[in-house]
Structure 1
Amino acid sequence: MRVISSAEIDQVLTFPALVDALAEAFAGDMVTPVRHHHEVEHPAAHGTLLLMPAWSGPATPGGFMGVKVVSVFPENGKHNLPSVLASYLLMNGETGEPMAVLDGTRLTVWRTAAASALAARYLARKDASRMVMVGSGSLAPFLIRAHMSQRPIREVALWNHRPEKAESLAAELRAEGLPVRAVTDLEGAVREADLVSCATLSSSPIVKGEWLKEGAHLDLVGAFNLKMREADDEALRRSEIYIDTDAARSEGGDVALSLQSGAITPDHVRGTLSDLCRKPHLRAEKAITTFKSVGTALEDLAAAILVWRSTAIPS
């Protein structure tokens, strides 16, 4: 059994290839049971254990099987560790034989960004050139690169509630040749943006619907529980909404919260990524679109398979 590090994952993955792999997976027949969620009590800390299984469907003989094991320990900072850690076990779908263990934390940021870019492939205008990145955490560089792989992005405005963090990340990305600048006027940046991507842990809306111009695409990646929110009700009311899976109707902030409050009705959500990949959406030029993701094991398995095939040692 092989161990595949974060460096190896970075070396072999590209967003065009990963977005294509996710498109094939969402249009296919992978089986993705409901994720297992367990609260873990420890004398020194409280944590959460998540188990996310998936396997190739009956139309794919042999195939693959996998499970991501995720631990969430909010107090890990005092141990100089990330609060979220993950490992991915990839197995032979016919025999169950373990094939590889991958760095699940790295795999997650790649597949999460790729899923947003896949949605933008269908929902963002083809000529989208101005992007706003809200948040400067670990996902931000991946989301910027992912969206740039699908649309002709020429300008990226990066905003964070702590301006110094936005300045620091923007400088790093400019050094890589990416057209990123830090901004403090979020409203002004959003009003000019063709694509707005949010990856924060905000407990209250940051992006307001009145700021979104005609034809804009809103990508909501953060707000992973019902205590968080990145966009207000008006942003969702004005949008054609798509979600990664039906779980986003009840999990995570934004869409689930607007549905609960009655700000939008269930039929306001047009469909899922599977729907988009099987029957592409024909967007109106002036339509505002929104994509909300909560994550799915299907994405992890598709990404792990691509890494495995890209790092396989020829026999």
Structure 2
Amino acid sequence: MYIVPEREIANLMTREAAFDAVEKVFAAMATGDAYNFPVVREAIGHEDALYGFKGGFDRAGLTLGLKAGGYWPNNLEKRDIINHQSTVFLFDPDTGKAKAMVGGNLLTALRTAAASSVSIKHLARKDAKTIGMIGAGHQATFQLRAALEQRDFEKVIGWNYHPEMLPNIEKIANEAGLPFEAVSLEEMQDADVIISITSAFAPSLMAEHVSPGTHLACMGTDTKGKQEVEAALLAKSRVFTDEVAQSISIGEAQHAVAEGLIKEADIAQIGAVINGTNPGRTSAEDITLFDGTGVGLQDLAVAASVVELAIKQGIAIEVDF
């Protein structure tokens, strides 16, 4: 079995490699060549933590495994480590033997950013110029870096529940040579692409805040009860997701479906757009919305890519297990 420690991930996994891995696995999911297992996610009753397992099998890529981890909200304040903690375990699909253990913290950030970036590539207008960010935490910086590679953006605007955190994303904009402006939610109407990445349980972005032709990537809702955007916004959008079952149960669509504003059949897989079996955006006026719930197959795809690179570079630690 191979071990790839968290400390090695930054030197192995690039945004480009994460994008390619996630795009391929989304495509495989849409053809039925890859599928996710039911998610286990529980409040453990200690440190206010949420802990769970996400797994699946990619028959096309012969990748089998799971990610174990979750959210410890007190980590940063108490221990000066990030709140999201996870580890990916890979198994040989031919024998069931343990194949690899991979640090999952940076990989989670990269694969989440890659997912929204894939949605921008396939659903945003080609002439998109202004990108809006709702959320300015740790993950928002990864989201923005990846998104800026998909279009020739000219400006970044941002809003956050805690405005003092907005310099986090302003720094990324400045690194890319783009101006940044802190705005109100109403001013999100100026954005051609909007990424929401918060842990909210009540919507901030309303339908009236979004202009025709906008593409939204809603990346923060991955648990029952969470919500970043008004349910009515999904009703006026063409809705896409990583996995429909998760979208309607723990994703952003859970609320719109519960209120009867949309049906399960109204939600398409992003992989179908990648494969060309769904047209995706059909006009410049369409509002497209990607409900990124985060699937185990994303984690397995990027972890498998890292293990391959680590073995080639002699970085992977081999143990007799």
Which TM bucket (shorter chain)? Answer: 0.7 to 0.9
CA distance in 2, matches of 1:146, 1:11: 17
CA distance in 2, matches of 1:216, 1:286: 8
Q: Is the 8 A contact 2:159 2:183 kept in 1?
A: yes
Matched, 1:22 2:26: no
Amino acid at match of 1:133: M
- Tell me the amino acid that sits aligned with residue 261 of structure 2: A
Deviates more, 1:199-208 or 1:245-254: 245-254
Give the letter aligned to residue 40 of structure 1. I
Q: Which amino acid aligns with 2:54?
A: M
Q: 1:40 aligns with which of 44, 56, 78?
A: 44
Q: Tell me the residue number matched to 1:273.
A: 270
Alpha-carbon distance in structure 2 between the residues aligned to 1:193 and 1:7 = 36
- Structure 2 unaligned residues grouped into runs of 5+: 315-321
Contact 2:63 2:93 (8 Å CA) reproduced: yes
CA 1:125–1:174: 2 relative to 1, 3 Å: closer
Percent of residue pairs identical:
26
1:246 match: 244
Deviation per CA, 1:242-283: give whole Å up to 9, x if none: 1110123433353111110112233332x1123222324242
Q: Indicate the residue corresponding to 1:64 in structure 2.
A: 63
User: In the alignment, does 2:163 pair up with 1:166?
Assistant: no
Does the aligned pair in 2 maintain the 1:170–1:182 contact within 8 Å? no
Aligned to 1:87: 87
Cα distance in 2 for residues equivalent to 1:281 and 1:107 = 30
Q: What TM-score results when the alignment is normalised by the length of structure 2?
A: 0.86
Which amino acid is 1:213 matched to? Answer: S
The corresponding residue for 1:49 is: 51
CA contact (8 A) 1:55 1:66 kept: yes
Count of matched residue positions in the alignment of Structure 1 and Structure 2: 307
CA contact (8 A) 1:218 1:291 kept: yes
Q: 1:280 to 1:90 in 2, by over 3 A?
A: same
Q: Where does structure 1 lack aligned partners over 5 or more consecutive residues?
A: none
Asked whether the 8 Å contact 2:91–2:98 carries over to 1, the reply is: yes
Aligned partner of residue 212 in structure 2, secondary structure: coil
Q: Is the 8 A contact 2:156 2:179 kept in 1?
A: yes
Q: Within 5 A, what are the aligned runs for 1:65-144?
A: 65-76=64-75, 77-144=77-144
One-letter amino acid of the counterpart of residue 200, structure 1: T
Q: Relative contact order (alpha carbons < 8 A, sep ≥ 6): 1 or 2 greater?
A: 2
Residue equivalent to 1:210: 208
> What is the DSSP-based 3-state SS (H/G/I as helix, E as strand, rest coil) of the residue aligned with 1:312?
helix
- 2:232–2:256 Cα contact (<8 Å) kept: no
Structure 2 Cα separation of the partners of residues 37 and 203 of structure 1: 16
The answer to whether structure 1 residue 4 and structure 2 residue 42 are counterparts is no
The Cα of 1:287 is off from its aligned counterpart by 0.7
Instruction: Output the amino acid matched with 2:44.
Output: V
Change in 2 beyond 3 A, CA 1:291/1:204? same
* Paired AA for residue 135 in structure 2: G
Give the equivalent residue in structure 1 for 2:233: 235
Do the aligned partners of 2:217 and 2:291 also contact (CA within 8 Å) in 1? yes
Residue identity opposite 2:65 in structure 1: G
The 1:202–1:41 alpha-carbon spacing in structure 2 relative to 1, beyond 3 Å, is: closer
Q: 1:158 aligns to what SS in structure 2?
A: strand
Distance 1:17 1:230, change over 3 A: same
1:175-216 Cα offsets, whole Å, 9 max, x none, are 63352524032321x111110000012222211212222211
Aligned residue number for residue 319 of structure 2 = none
